[in-house]
Amino acid sequence: MDNSYLSLEGKVALVTGGSRGIGKEIALTFADAGADLAISGRKLQDLEKVANEIRKLGKRCLPVSAHARKVEELKHLVDQVVETFGRIDILVNNAATNPAMGPIVETDEKIYDHIMETNLKGYFMMSKFAGAIMVKQKSGNIINISSAGGVSPAEGLGPYCISKAGINMLTKALALELGSYNIRVNAIAPRIVKTSFSEALWTNEALMKKELELVPLKRVASPEEIARTALYLASTASNYMTGHVVVLNGGAFF
Protein backbone atom coordinates (compact mmCIF):
# COMPACT_ATOMS: atom_id res chain seq x y z
CA MET A 1 0.00 0.00 0.00
CA ASP A 2 1.30 3.45 -0.93
CA ASN A 3 1.54 5.55 2.23
CA SER A 4 3.54 8.41 0.72
CA TYR A 5 0.84 10.80 1.96
CA LEU A 6 2.38 10.33 5.43
CA SER A 7 5.89 11.18 4.23
CA LEU A 8 7.64 14.32 5.49
CA GLU A 9 10.60 13.86 3.15
CA GLY A 10 12.23 17.21 2.34
CA LYS A 11 10.40 19.03 5.16
CA VAL A 12 11.95 20.98 8.03
CA ALA A 13 10.16 20.71 11.38
CA LEU A 14 10.72 22.73 14.55
CA VAL A 15 9.52 21.11 17.79
CA THR A 16 9.62 23.03 21.07
CA GLY A 17 9.98 21.08 24.29
CA GLY A 18 11.73 18.42 22.23
CA SER A 19 13.98 16.87 24.85
CA ARG A 20 11.44 14.54 26.45
CA GLY A 21 7.90 13.22 26.54
CA ILE A 22 5.51 14.17 23.76
CA GLY A 23 7.95 16.58 22.11
CA LYS A 24 10.73 14.01 21.89
CA GLU A 25 8.38 11.38 20.47
CA ILE A 26 7.03 13.80 17.86
CA ALA A 27 10.57 14.75 16.80
CA LEU A 28 11.58 11.10 16.40
CA THR A 29 8.37 10.24 14.55
CA PHE A 30 8.83 13.15 12.16
CA ALA A 31 12.46 12.16 11.52
CA ASP A 32 11.37 8.59 10.83
CA ALA A 33 8.90 10.01 8.30
CA GLY A 34 11.72 11.85 6.53
CA ALA A 35 11.87 15.34 8.06
CA ASP A 36 14.94 17.24 9.19
CA LEU A 37 14.49 18.60 12.70
CA ALA A 38 15.19 21.53 14.95
CA ILE A 39 14.38 20.90 18.60
CA SER A 40 14.37 23.34 21.49
CA GLY A 41 14.22 23.22 25.25
CA ARG A 42 15.97 24.66 28.27
CA LYS A 43 18.77 22.09 28.63
CA LEU A 44 21.06 21.69 25.63
CA GLN A 45 22.58 18.51 27.07
CA ASP A 46 19.19 16.76 27.01
CA LEU A 47 18.46 18.06 23.51
CA GLU A 48 21.77 16.70 22.22
CA LYS A 49 20.77 13.19 23.29
CA VAL A 50 17.59 13.39 21.22
CA ALA A 51 19.48 15.00 18.33
CA ASN A 52 21.84 12.03 18.25
CA GLU A 53 18.87 9.65 18.02
CA ILE A 54 17.51 11.67 15.11
CA ARG A 55 20.88 11.64 13.33
CA LYS A 56 20.99 7.86 13.65
CA LEU A 57 17.81 7.86 11.58
CA GLY A 58 19.78 9.61 8.84
CA LYS A 59 18.25 13.06 9.31
CA ARG A 60 19.74 16.41 10.23
CA CYS A 61 18.98 17.90 13.64
CA LEU A 62 19.65 21.31 15.16
CA PRO A 63 19.29 21.41 18.97
CA VAL A 64 18.82 24.94 20.36
CA SER A 65 18.53 26.01 23.98
CA ALA A 66 15.55 28.38 24.28
CA HIS A 67 13.28 29.23 27.20
CA ALA A 68 9.56 29.36 26.38
CA ARG A 69 9.09 32.51 28.50
CA LYS A 70 11.98 34.48 27.00
CA VAL A 71 10.76 36.10 23.80
CA GLU A 72 14.22 37.10 22.61
CA GLU A 73 15.34 33.47 22.85
CA LEU A 74 12.31 32.32 20.84
CA LYS A 75 13.11 34.84 18.10
CA HIS A 76 16.74 33.70 18.09
CA LEU A 77 15.55 30.09 17.84
CA VAL A 78 13.50 30.79 14.72
CA ASP A 79 16.34 32.80 13.19
CA GLN A 80 18.79 29.93 13.79
CA VAL A 81 16.49 27.39 12.18
CA VAL A 82 16.07 29.56 9.07
CA GLU A 83 19.81 30.23 8.94
CA THR A 84 20.57 26.49 9.16
CA PHE A 85 17.82 25.00 6.99
CA GLY A 86 16.60 27.94 4.92
CA ARG A 87 12.93 27.40 5.83
CA ILE A 88 10.43 26.15 8.39
CA ASP A 89 7.71 23.86 7.05
CA ILE A 90 6.26 22.59 10.32
CA LEU A 91 6.11 24.16 13.78
CA VAL A 92 5.03 22.07 16.76
CA ASN A 93 4.34 24.21 19.81
CA ASN A 94 4.77 21.77 22.67
CA ALA A 95 6.78 23.39 25.49
CA ALA A 96 4.46 23.77 28.49
CA THR A 97 4.35 23.99 32.26
CA ASN A 98 2.02 23.37 35.16
CA PRO A 99 3.84 24.22 38.40
CA ALA A 100 0.83 24.00 40.73
CA MET A 101 -2.40 22.18 41.47
CA GLY A 102 -5.18 23.63 43.57
CA PRO A 103 -8.25 25.89 43.59
CA ILE A 104 -8.26 29.04 41.47
CA VAL A 105 -9.12 31.17 44.53
CA GLU A 106 -5.90 30.01 46.19
CA THR A 107 -3.65 30.44 43.14
CA ASP A 108 -0.83 32.94 43.52
CA GLU A 109 -0.60 35.61 40.82
CA LYS A 110 2.99 34.66 40.04
CA ILE A 111 1.93 31.06 39.37
CA TYR A 112 -0.84 32.26 37.05
CA ASP A 113 1.58 34.52 35.16
CA HIS A 114 4.15 31.72 34.90
CA ILE A 115 1.60 29.35 33.34
CA MET A 116 0.16 31.92 30.94
CA GLU A 117 3.53 33.21 29.79
CA THR A 118 4.84 29.71 29.11
CA ASN A 119 1.81 27.94 27.72
CA LEU A 120 -0.10 30.68 25.92
CA LYS A 121 2.27 33.59 25.27
CA GLY A 122 5.07 31.17 24.35
CA TYR A 123 2.87 29.52 21.71
CA PHE A 124 1.63 32.93 20.52
CA MET A 125 5.13 34.34 20.00
CA MET A 126 6.49 31.17 18.38
CA SER A 127 3.54 31.17 15.99
CA LYS A 128 4.13 34.85 15.25
CA PHE A 129 7.83 34.38 14.46
CA ALA A 130 7.59 31.10 12.55
CA GLY A 131 4.29 32.14 10.96
CA ALA A 132 5.96 35.19 9.42
CA ILE A 133 8.49 32.88 7.76
CA MET A 134 5.70 30.62 6.50
CA VAL A 135 3.80 33.59 5.06
CA LYS A 136 6.88 34.48 2.99
CA GLN A 137 7.13 30.84 1.88
CA LYS A 138 3.39 30.76 1.14
CA SER A 139 3.25 27.37 2.85
CA GLY A 140 3.48 25.92 6.33
CA ASN A 141 1.90 23.90 9.08
CA ILE A 142 1.49 24.74 12.77
CA ILE A 143 0.49 22.11 15.31
CA ASN A 144 -0.29 23.20 18.87
CA ILE A 145 -0.18 20.64 21.68
CA SER A 146 -3.14 21.62 23.81
CA SER A 147 -5.09 19.55 26.36
CA ALA A 148 -8.51 18.07 26.85
CA GLY A 149 -8.50 20.37 29.87
CA GLY A 150 -8.78 23.26 27.44
CA VAL A 151 -12.11 21.85 26.26
CA SER A 152 -13.54 20.63 29.59
CA PRO A 153 -12.07 21.86 32.90
CA ALA A 154 -10.24 19.55 35.29
CA GLU A 155 -10.59 20.14 39.01
CA GLY A 156 -7.47 21.63 40.57
CA LEU A 157 -5.95 22.58 37.21
CA GLY A 158 -7.81 25.82 36.56
CA PRO A 159 -5.01 28.11 35.32
CA TYR A 160 -3.53 25.29 33.22
CA CYS A 161 -6.93 24.57 31.63
CA ILE A 162 -7.48 28.28 30.97
CA SER A 163 -4.12 28.51 29.21
CA LYS A 164 -4.97 25.52 27.05
CA ALA A 165 -8.39 26.95 26.17
CA GLY A 166 -6.50 30.02 24.98
CA ILE A 167 -4.31 27.79 22.82
CA ASN A 168 -7.42 26.28 21.24
CA MET A 169 -8.66 29.74 20.27
CA LEU A 170 -5.17 30.73 19.10
CA THR A 171 -5.31 27.71 16.81
CA LYS A 172 -8.62 28.77 15.29
CA ALA A 173 -7.59 32.42 14.93
CA LEU A 174 -4.32 31.51 13.22
CA ALA A 175 -6.11 29.08 10.89
CA LEU A 176 -8.47 31.88 9.87
CA GLU A 177 -5.68 34.41 9.28
CA LEU A 178 -3.13 32.14 7.61
CA GLY A 179 -5.26 29.88 5.43
CA SER A 180 -4.94 32.10 2.35
CA TYR A 181 -1.14 31.65 2.57
CA ASN A 182 -1.48 27.86 2.34
CA ILE A 183 -0.69 27.51 6.03
CA ARG A 184 -2.70 25.02 8.09
CA VAL A 185 -3.07 25.26 11.87
CA ASN A 186 -4.47 22.52 14.10
CA ALA A 187 -4.21 21.42 17.72
CA ILE A 188 -4.04 18.12 19.58
CA ALA A 189 -5.80 18.03 22.93
CA PRO A 190 -4.92 14.87 24.89
CA ARG A 191 -6.34 13.82 28.21
CA ILE A 192 -3.68 12.20 30.44
CA VAL A 193 -0.54 11.05 28.60
CA LYS A 194 1.97 8.76 30.29
CA THR A 195 4.97 11.11 30.44
CA SER A 196 7.15 12.50 33.21
CA PHE A 197 5.27 15.83 32.84
CA SER A 198 2.00 14.24 34.01
CA GLU A 199 3.52 11.66 36.36
CA ALA A 200 1.81 13.21 39.39
CA LEU A 201 -1.51 12.28 37.75
CA TRP A 202 -1.01 8.77 36.38
CA THR A 203 0.85 7.57 39.49
CA ASN A 204 -1.99 8.71 41.77
CA GLU A 205 -3.99 5.52 42.34
CA ALA A 206 -7.11 7.23 43.66
CA LEU A 207 -7.17 9.70 40.80
CA MET A 208 -6.55 6.98 38.20
CA LYS A 209 -9.34 4.81 39.59
CA LYS A 210 -11.75 7.71 39.05
CA GLU A 211 -10.18 8.56 35.67
CA LEU A 212 -10.53 5.09 34.21
CA GLU A 213 -14.19 5.00 35.21
CA LEU A 214 -14.68 7.96 32.85
CA VAL A 215 -12.55 6.70 29.95
CA PRO A 216 -14.15 3.95 27.84
CA LEU A 217 -10.75 2.71 26.59
CA LYS A 218 -9.72 2.20 30.25
CA ARG A 219 -6.18 3.55 29.92
CA VAL A 220 -4.19 6.74 29.47
CA ALA A 221 -2.57 7.72 26.18
CA SER A 222 1.03 7.00 25.19
CA PRO A 223 3.38 9.65 23.74
CA GLU A 224 3.56 7.54 20.55
CA GLU A 225 -0.19 7.92 20.02
CA ILE A 226 0.08 11.70 20.26
CA ALA A 227 3.08 11.71 17.92
CA ARG A 228 1.29 9.68 15.26
CA THR A 229 -1.64 12.09 15.38
CA ALA A 230 0.84 14.92 14.93
CA LEU A 231 2.29 13.11 11.91
CA TYR A 232 -1.19 12.91 10.38
CA LEU A 233 -1.69 16.65 10.89
CA ALA A 234 1.79 17.45 9.54
CA SER A 235 1.39 15.32 6.41
CA THR A 236 -0.62 15.64 3.22
CA ALA A 237 -3.04 13.07 4.66
CA SER A 238 -4.81 15.99 6.37
CA ASN A 239 -4.41 18.57 3.59
CA TYR A 240 -7.95 19.99 3.84
CA MET A 241 -7.95 20.15 7.63
CA THR A 242 -7.31 23.40 9.48
CA GLY A 243 -8.65 25.15 12.57
CA HIS A 244 -9.43 21.88 14.34
CA VAL A 245 -8.76 20.80 17.90
CA VAL A 246 -8.34 17.02 17.83
CA VAL A 247 -9.35 15.76 21.27
CA LEU A 248 -7.64 12.49 22.24
CA ASN A 249 -9.41 11.42 25.39
CA GLY A 250 -10.04 7.68 25.06
CA GLY A 251 -13.75 8.32 24.52
CA ALA A 252 -14.41 10.33 27.68
CA PHE A 253 -17.21 12.87 27.30
CA PHE A 254 -16.12 15.18 30.13
Q: What is the pLDDT of residue 210?
A: 80
Q: What is the pLDDT of residue 199?
A: 64
- Model pLDDT, residue 166: 98
pLDDT at 24: 96
Active site residues: 160
Distance CA 91, CA 32 (A): 17
Low-confidence ranges of the chain (pLDDT < 50): 1
Helices marked H in the chain: 21-32, 44-56, 71-85, 109-115, 122-137, 158-178, 199-202, 205-214, 223-234
pLDDT on residue 202: 60
Residue of 83, 115, 96 whose CA lies nearest to 18? 96
Q: Sheet of 36-41: strands edge to edge?
A: 61-65, 36-41, 12-16, 90-93, 140-145, 183-190, 245-248
Rg (CA), the chain: 17
Residue 91: phi, psi to the nearest 5? -115, 125
3-state per-residue secondary structure call for 128-186: HHHHHHHHHHCCEEEEEECCHHHCCCCCCEHHHHHHHHHHHHHHHHHHHHHHHHCEEEE
Q: What is the pLDDT of residue 2?
A: 63
* Reported pTM: 0.94
Cα separations in angstroms, 65 against 42, 70, 75, 171, 193: 5, 11, 12, 25, 25
Amino acid 254: pLDDT: 66
